[in-house]
Chain A
């Protein structure tokens, strides 16, 4: 079945780059998404990428997609303490209609 995998934890120093990785199994998703969950809050859409793109850049965020390997990554440049959160990778497989499949989330800790 459909599955999305992520490592559960990542620690970086303030000012360094963070790279959060994700692998997925269903290649039918037209879009792939990154959601951010700050402490005590719900999830908010951070960015997304169309499946026929290799890369998308949005200010400090860079999304890379390797469709052949079904690998998605999120790079945060110049990571700040405010970036500390849980980051969820998600896909929206064709077979699922409007339903999403979320990864387990990567908890990013930014150390001063």
Chain B
């Protein structure tokens, strides 16, 4: 089954304790992205990756790191989490830059990770 998986689905942690949220897709997608969802703000992009070893900042990258060593995986790293990073996080992927800008482009989303930082 074509899917994007995230782990863990739920996480409660304390300020300053490093954590990693994993994301994996089995659709051979080039493009992957991380979003956070907060009430009334919709989805805000944290980081994205156009391909292996190519990552770039989104709209709200502060306090986050990512890596893209393999095509299928795109982990989100919080080196020193703070309470304002309490949120619902989504990973997404899509076919990437091989298409033209006029192509229809669907992003496939993971189920989400609810993070609480105390």
Q: A: which residues have CB within 8 A of B?
A: 4, 8, 30-31, 33, 35, 40-45, 48, 50, 88, 92, 94, 97-100, 102-105
Q: A31-B104, A48-B104, A99-B58 are in contact. Are A43 and B90 (CB under 8 A)?
A: yes
A30-B102, A94-B101, A98-B94 known; A44+B41 contact, CB < 8 A: no
Residues of B within 8 A of A48 (CB): 104, 106
**Are B42 and A104 in touch, CB under 8 angstroms?**
yes
Do B40 and A97 have beta carbons less than 8 Å apart?
no
Whether A98 pairs with B112 at a CB distance below 8 angstroms is no
- Evaluate contact between A98 and B96: CB separation under 8 angstroms: yes
**In this assembly, does B74 line the interface, its C-beta being within 8 Å of a C-beta of chain A?**
no
Pick out which of these stretches binds chain A: B14-22, B43-51, B64-72, B77-85.
Answer: B43-51
Most buried by A among B35, B42, B112: B42
Let me know if A98 and B102 touch, CB within 8 A: no
Measured between beta carbons, the chain B residues less than 8 angstroms from A42 are 4, 90, 92, 109-112
User: Which of A30, A33, A94, A102 contacts B42 (CB under 8 A)?
Assistant: A102
Is the CB of B26 closer than 8 A to any CB of chain A? no
Give Cα A106 to B50, complex, Å: 29
Cβ A104 vs Cβ B31 within 8 A: no
- Of all chain A residues, the one with the shortest Cβ separation from B9 is A40
- Is the C-beta of B24 less than 8 angstroms from some C-beta in chain A? no
| A99-B48, A99-B58, A102-B43 known; A41+B101 contact, CB < 8 A | no
Cα–Cα distance between A43 and B103 once the two chains are bound (Å): 20
Residue of B nearest to A28 (CB): B101
B97 contacts A by Cβ under 8 Å: yes
